[in-house]
Structure 1
Amino acid sequence: MSSDRQHCPRCTRPKSHCVCAFIPHMDSRTRILILQHSSEVKHALNTARLAALGLSNATLLVGEVFEQLPAVLAQTQYQACLLFPGDTALPLIAYAEQACAQPLLLIVPDGTWRKAHKILHKNPLLATLPRVALPDGLRSRYRLRKAPMDGAVSTLEAIVHALNQLEAPHNFDALLAPFEKLIDDQITAMGEEVFSRNYSK
């Protein structure tokens, strides 16, 4: 088997493009629970996995129906809320001061908008949670894809933005290092000329 086909068991990237050296180890007061739709596991970027690897207080669950949720939400040391936009969502910053008294359990669906909505539909317990949203106008650093809507960012970027708000002045931008490395590698593979012609505008 060629080395190109061998994958790192940790970051799941081909060993020739392993990003483990770029993944930090960061602690957070906020607990992050990522509910990843099973269709996202083999995504080229899989930023949810990068977030879970970089944060000591993060858990990644994969599936559509998450039977563990009742047990997770029963942990009284955390106040649970769902990071997902909607008419009833409150600005996440409104919870920042409150999070100093009781840390948050921030539940983050991971998948396309359709898959994320499916996770919400198949796990009705999520609808009972306070819903919070990030500020308007955020821009993704993923330079190789046009955002499907204004403010759309990757799961990793959403978590970084959330933690930067909740735990300021502590900064979590270091979590983005492997994400940036993956993007740079993709640009290198396609060539600067192709990138400039199709994506740089």
Structure 2
Amino acid sequence: MPRAQCAICYRPTSYCYCSRIKKVTNSWPVFIVQDVRESRHPIGTARIAALSLSQAEMITLDPDRPDSIGDLLEGAFSRPLRNPVLIYPGDDAGEVNELHVADPFAGEPRDLLFIDASWGRSLRMLNVFPALTSLPKFSLGELPVSRYRIRKQPAIDAVSTLEAIVHTLHLLEPARDFSAMLTTMDWVVDQQIRRMGNKVYQANYLLRQRK
């Protein structure tokens, strides 16, 4: 019999993190396009951001069925995106901390778009959704080691979607504290490690990360 699931965070009710969510106000709106495969991951982090931020919205896309989506920037979200930028690394990407300077509408927050997917699937999403490729890209500079300890990252400087969102907002809105979202993620990670047992974690996650 399937376990009861929270209708909000989609976690089993015994591991629901809704009570751990702290509402945070953000001036730069956050929009997340999530790969359908990521939506099935039991401890994805993007939903924490969507539930925590005052201005955040997430949709789920299937890059294997790109024709199922119309105009991604105009009609996929609850409103058309306004002067959006894609937060994504690349040789053609500027740096997030330059957004204020690079912004032709200086002082007016732009819509921030994030892709929530594995590295390979995010590249596929860029290939099949031209609207994403057309956006100006901005990337994060040096980042601390990821706190998302239960998923092997593709590179030492890779971070979870939630961490990317938090670091971006910290750069753009330094007067505000967005770290409560990381605290929620830490709790979710700790619960998952406790559930699997330290021996399994050491063998399948921690030791792999040290290699």
* TM-score, normalized by the shorter chain, greater than 0.5: yes
Find the counterpart in structure 2 of residue 36 from structure 1.
Answer: 34
- Correspondence for 1:52 among 50, 53, 59: 50
1:97-135 Cα offsets, whole Å, 9 max, x none, are: 558611021110111111111111111122221100011
Find the counterpart in structure 2 of residue 5 from structure 1.
Answer: 3
- Correspondence for 1:95 among 82, 89, 99: 99
1:166-199 Cα offsets, whole Å, 9 max, x none, are: 1012110111222111111122123345545662
- Correspondence for 1:129 among 112, 132, 135: 135
In the TM superposition, what is the alpha-carbon distance from 1:156 to its structure 2 partner?
Answer: 0.6
Alignment length (residue pairs): 198
Contact map agreement 2:21 2:48 (CA 8 A) in 1: yes
Structure 1: 5+ residue runs without aligned partners? none
Q: Name segments (4+ residues, structure 1) moved above 6 Å.
A: none
Cα distance between partner residues in 2 of 1:170 and 1:157: 15
Contact map agreement 1:36 1:62 (CA 8 A) in 2: yes
Cα distance between partner residues in 2 of 1:137 and 1:70: 29
Structure 1 pair 141/70, CA: closer, same or farther in 2 (3 Å)? closer
One-letter amino acid matched to 2:5:
H
- Correspondence for 2:18 among 8, 20, 23: 20
Pairwise CA RMSD: 2.4
One-letter amino acid matched to 1:94:
E
Cα distance between partner residues in 1 of 2:115 and 2:151: 20
Percent of aligned pairs with the same amino acid: 35
One-letter amino acid matched to 2:111:
L
One-letter amino acid matched to 2:28:
T
Question: 2:84 aligned with 1:80, yes or no?
Answer: yes
**Structure 2 length normalisation: TM-score?**
0.84
What is the correspondence of 1:45-194 to structure 2 with a 5 Å cutoff? 45-64=43-62, 65=66, 66-71=69-74, 78-96=82-100, 98=103, 101-194=107-200
